[in-house]
Structure 1
């Protein structure tokens, strides 16, 4: 078995830990993430671990079973758009993304209950402003925003029938425009009480999904 890669001295683990905010990761978790980052970072031949010092789309495609996901390309695009820069994901950015899917926020049981009960309100924000990540977001809110942004193909801050159609085509592949349109209209209708030509706001999206436990359904065991 090969030796586990150690976090280099050039990376300030204390700073990264602090910057994960209310999702505060431990040094052990940061170290685990570095090992994963190091293993994914390869040269053009797929060799030489830790070669570039950042991850690109090809590197993320090496995640086991990731290439079997029909919307993998869309997922990678959102990851780089939201957390990376110029098609690159540094270790700090990698931690920022991964901390979004930490199993639990630190704090007391009562604090977690209050966090999970918190809902998204955007009464004073534009649609685009409401879907931006904020330092005060709970882990659950951050996950919901990420899912929403993944489905918001045209990135206008609302989910339309056309957005859902695009995702359906990615997921299903062989589906006619007519079939995709019918399914997409029904999906959007679930969030908008079937109002004609309606689009889904982040608040509508969150309120419809409020019964799901996102900390469990969308957690990464790597961060336990």
Structure 2
């Protein structure tokens, strides 16, 4: 799967399917490959942050800058693995692990009040004041049995979100 100008072989498709726990069908992987090749403008086999920002839906996402740290320099297999978090076939646990990585801004395995507040800031923009954000977040944490000084691990995220009806899905158009 070196250069993006080459076509995927059946072996490549199956390898990518295995890598992403069969979150996508073979047809979807081929469609994703075509999209990947469109994004990989220089044909180097990797998609840069700048190339991702050419996707209008991504560019306007309030969390795009956070996602870019997870995306910059992905090869095709990593690209599909990233997108697999949004597949309806992906387990709730894998979706929660993805969300945790988005919130764990310093990649230390813990999410603090300020990490969550920073995401809330990105999501609300100028629609809420900093004081309102802090008040809402403090209230939500207290209702869940946590304090402003709590540090959340992946296990905490699993406990909090594990019984939710989390919808994080995108449809992959088939060419």
Same fold? TM cut 0.5 = yes
Match of 1:96 in 2: 81
Consecutive unaligned residues in structure 2, runs of 5 or more: none
Change in 2 beyond 3 A, CA 1:156/1:182: farther
Matched-pair contact (CA < 8 Å) for 1:161–1:181: no
Deviation at 1:221, TM superposition (A): 1.2
**1:163 matches 2:115:** yes
Match of 1:148 in 2: 100
Supply the distance in 2 between the matched residues of 1:209 and 1:223 (Cα, whole angstroms).
Answer: 29
Consecutive unaligned residues in structure 1, runs of 5 or more: 44-50, 81-86, 106-138
**1:59 matches 2:51:** yes
Aligned positions of 1:1-224 closer than 5 A: 7-8=7-8, 12-21=12-21, 23=22, 25-43=24-42, 51-77=43-69, 79-80=70-71, 87-104=72-89, 139-174=91-126, 176-191=129-144, 193-195=145-147, 197-214=149-166, 217-222=167-172
**Max Rg structure:** 1
**Per-residue Cα deviation, 1:45-64 (whole angstroms, up to 9, x for no partner):** xxxxxx33211111211223
CA RMSD between the two structures: 2.8
**Per-residue Cα deviation, 1:50-80 (whole angstroms, up to 9, x for no partner):** x332111112112232222122111221x23
Select the structure with the greater relative contact order (CA < 8 A; seq sep ≥ 6): 2
Q: TM-score, normalised by structure 1?
A: 0.63
